[in-house]
Amino acid sequence: MSGLSDLDPAAFAELRRLLDEGLDLPGAERAAWLAALPAAQQPLRERLARLLAEADADSGTSFQTLPPIAATDTATAPELPGDIGPWRPSRLLGEGGMGTVWLAERVDGLLKRPAALKLPRGAWRQAGLAERMARERDILARLDHPHIAPILDAGVTPEGQPWLALAFVEGQPIDEYVAARSLGLRERIALLLQVAGAVAHAHARLVVHRDLKPGNILVTSEGEVRLLDFGIGKLLDDEAGEGLALTQQLGRVMTPWYASPEQVHGQPIGTASDVYALGVVAFELLTDQRPYALKRETRLALEQAITEGRVQRASAVATTAWAAQLRGDLDTVLLKALKTDPDQRYRTVDQFADDLQRWLRQRPVSAQPDRLAYRVRKFVQRNRLGVGLGTAAVAALAVALGVALWQREQARLEAAKANGIKDYLVSLFETNDVDQSDALRKRGQSVQDLLEHSARTLGSGLADHPEVRDELQKLVGQLLNDLELTDSALRVRSERVQALAAQGAPAALRAEALRALAQTQSWKDDIPSARQTLAQAARLCAPTPDLPECLGIQTDLGQIEFDARRLDTALALAGPVTTRLRTVAPGSAELARALELSGNIELARNRQEPALSLMRESMDIRRRLLGEHSVRLIFPRYQLARSLWVMRHHVEAQQELRAALDISRRTLGEDHLMSLRIQRDLGRLTAYIGLDGGGMAMLEEAVQRLLAKGADLPLVDQFDAHVALGNLLLVDGQPERAEPELSVALRLRDQLGEERTAGDATLDQSWAWLMTELGRYDQARAVLQRQLTQTVARLGEQHPSVADRLLRIVNVDMAEGRWDDAQARIERALTSQDSREASFGSPKHRAQLARAALWLERGDTAAAAPVIDAQHRLAQDTPRAEQYRLRLFELTVLTARLRCLQARQDEARLLFDQAIALLARDVPTHPALIDARARYALCLGPGAEARHQLQAAEAAWSAHAGLGRHLRRTLERARQQVLLNP
């Protein structure tokens, strides 16, 4: 073929596109198509007709025989040029679309070793290319890597001939190298990892190759890769205008078979394009085939295959001998690298390489097969005209079967590693072999004992199986940490960090191990060490910030800020990372942690509904990942239950505590600290809501077993145990028993110093409640006023916790009869901003009830009635309102009093009976029943029923010593009216 040398690159590109279009047409339709070409394309019509006539459309060779862009169409070898700058070419090494490459030596003798001298030619010899060559010199000067061919020199001759001298590499293109030596899959992947290392080095310096192909990847006789030809590389930090000008002048430079979809579309090129090209090279090396199945090898057909994502599965085209090894993980890895959408590919070359390394080490890869919905959607997009409802259903069925087969293969590939782990666990946990020297000891071990034994042995064991040891160190370290065996966790996690560093493990894996170590350091309150460890992890993650393991560093830092109550800083870290993880790692453990943290922050900011949604989503992910009964769910379920309790979702909190306790007892034993903590809280909550019996007994048993540990029990757990028991004894109407428990807790708090727990606020509130019950009103008010001041300073005036503190002082005011003070505090409490203010039991609900009670005390029935009626209806509409036992008792007594004042005696009697039954069933002498029964007697008036209620009230009063005068006030009035005025 001739007559093409006068075409510039743009005209040649248009000619090539039209030729592909014409070749796709049946022969009989081509003449009409040529005649109908637009006027702008008419200058190319004669050339097109000649090329179509010469082409054998059925031979499949037209793509390969298209000529390169060159100064001449002659088939003879290029003429040996004269000296080029200081270089003298000696023989032709190769030629391509851009020009020729010559073996050359320096004329001036300054450099003894030969060079590969690159010379552009023909239509490419333009000022733009000289600028591009100068750019390559600057680019390569920044690259220093053993697998990148170094630059020696560059320049332009007086005649305008650009040139570039690279170190000459004696080697073969990588595809020829592996074929000549019949290398196996593992050897080929090892070479690909060298290539990936070189490309990653360039990317880290903001250099994109943009023309990765076997011809640019040479392998020496020693098996060392050398990456060539960064001449078309593009600095990512170049000004956009300069890069655009060059592109417009010279057109797109790429090798079609290795072009990414964005290159084909002429879109901006980034590192993702190199990931794609490396994926094509990897596919070829591992299958000896190209990724695309083309009906006709034309440029147009190839570009359609690339842009439409018609990539074959490697195992489907490889030889039978290799198909089994490719099937599963390697199929998935290659398909991920060759995604049409850059955002769905590996984010970095390092990620791609890491999965290849994981395959070599028989570890799970990060890439996952396409989800069913995605694969069906892509099928429909490729077959829009032919896919009806029935076809789509069949396609979905076929894809589901493919996923199942992949999962079966995945399980088989993991079997070898699982066997290694099994052998270790058998040696650790086996209790039935009487010949073992430590069999009797192991029979008596709990999981805690076994984990701590594992912590002592893992560092020196499994030396021949580092992958297995790492998996076990990761798991055991997490379990030890979750169970708060922090000394053992710190040892295991430190040893894991050291081992991975010694092995030269991938950066992401080392970063993940450092994060785990930082978690334990944080739990031991060694925050400075935790921050330093996270800083090390962040440095390792610098090249791959979007890896889930690397994004999780922000979660870790956010947790530290949250624990320090710096909520704004914590939110600034947790919010963006949660959003990003939803995209890059949906359904992952990293996302679960970020969601949990975000939920805790929202709860602390008084945004309960979003907090609950985030927490539930986190737990759903963990259940799917770990299984419903995993030991690793104990602590997350315990934490979720405590949050649900704070949000007044008492029944759901009780369910989570029961589930956590069941797992903890089965796996750790009934006497484990975690089991007893959960039992303590479950007993307290069960007694508090009063839905079923046994709560007090459960709590007392847990506290007894906790305190029996003596000096082995951490001081903070001693404190929490006495606070929990003292508080529940008050709820249960036993102030005399509560006082010594709370007094011990006060002494323990002094010993704890700066260390504070959730029980700290509960202690203050419980002590103030006790002081009120005993008539020591000034002491109660002082404690609550101090707590109120602290809460306002920490959370702001309108936080519902401030309203809660105000209403506790209101209780003291009402007990003393200080109605004006009570009213002022009630109005202040009603200004709080509670995200659940409409729900039964919220601080605003309690404030409204307190105001109504105050109005009744002052005789303003008309003002109190609508408020009480509205609250009564709210309680009736609240599912399982009985879980708010004390609040429901207060409301029911108040409503009964209102009905009595309204002369609706039958309703009043029914309501008084309901209220008294809420408490008298478990504790007939509860102090709250003194006032309730006295008011019931007043409502009944003189008579036998009223005297019965008075006798029960007197019995409750006599059962306690030293109760406050406010509890006697109504009783005295009732006695006066019922007994002295029969």
Concatenating the DSSP letter of every residue in 196-265 gives HHHHHHHHHTTEE-----GGGEEEETTS-EEE---TT-EETTS-HHHHHHHHHHH-----GGG--HHHHT
* Spatial contact of 664 and 681, defined as CB atoms under 8 Å apart: no
706-728 burial: b if 16+ Cβ within 10 Å, else e: bbeeeeebeeebbbbbbbbbbbb
Residue 873, number of CB atoms within 10 A of its CB:
10
Concerning whether 211 is annotated as a catalytic residue, the answer is yes
Q: Give the list of residues 6+ apart from residue 210 with CB closer than 8 angstroms, or none.
A: 232, 233, 234, 253, 254, 263, 269, 273, 274, 277
β-partners of residue 101 are 94, 118
Q: How far apart are CA 612 and CA 609, in angstroms?
A: 5
Q: How far apart are CA 172 and CA 219, in angstroms?
A: 5
Q: How far apart are CA 722 and CA 748, in angstroms?
A: 9
Residue 942, number of CB atoms within 10 A of its CB:
14
Angstrom CA distances, 321 to 192, 286, 331, 634, stand at: 20, 12, 15, 47
Q: Are strands 207-208 and 171-173 parallel, antiparallel or unpaired?
A: unpaired
Q: How far apart are CA 329 and CA 333, in angstroms?
A: 6
Query: Can you read off the two tokens belonging to residue 394?
Result: 């069949």
- Closest C-alpha among 63, 66, 67, 68 to residue 295: 63
Angstrom CA distances, 119 to 70, 104, 162, 299, stand at: 12, 12, 6, 26
> Kind and range of the H or E element at 376?
helix 372-382
Q: How far apart are CA 298 and CA 31, in angstroms?
A: 19
Angstrom CA distances, 456 to 332, 474, 488, 667, 939, stand at: 38, 14, 8, 20, 71
β-partners of residue 84 are 87
Query: Can you read off the two tokens belonging to residue 276?
Result: 């794609």
Query: Can you read off the two tokens belonging to residue 674?
Result: 């975690």
* Spatial contact of 118 and 137, defined as CB atoms under 8 Å apart: no
Query: Can you read off the two tokens belonging to residue 948?
Result: 């019965």
CA angle 503, 505, 506 (to 5 degrees): 165
Residue ranges of the annotated binding site for ATP are 118
Q: Give the list of residues 6+ apart from residue 807 with CB closer than 8 angstroms, or none.
A: 825, 826, 829, 843, 846, 847, 850
Radius of gyration of the chain (CA): 39
* Spatial contact of 747 and 723, defined as CB atoms under 8 Å apart: no
Q: How far apart are CA 455 and CA 486, in angstroms?
A: 11
* Spatial contact of 592 and 618, defined as CB atoms under 8 Å apart: yes
Q: How far apart are CA 540 and CA 497, in angstroms?
A: 13
φ/ψ region of 532 (left if φ > 0, alpha if ψ in -120 to 50, else beta) reads alpha
Sign of the torsion angle spanned by Cα atoms 346, 347, 353, 357: negative
Q: How far apart are CA 967 and CA 773, in angstroms?
A: 8
Among 20, 175, 211, 274, the one annotated catalytic:
211
Through-space distance between the first and last CA atoms of the chain, rounded to whole angstroms: 128
* Spatial contact of 763 and 749, defined as CB atoms under 8 Å apart: yes
The residues that are catalytic are 211
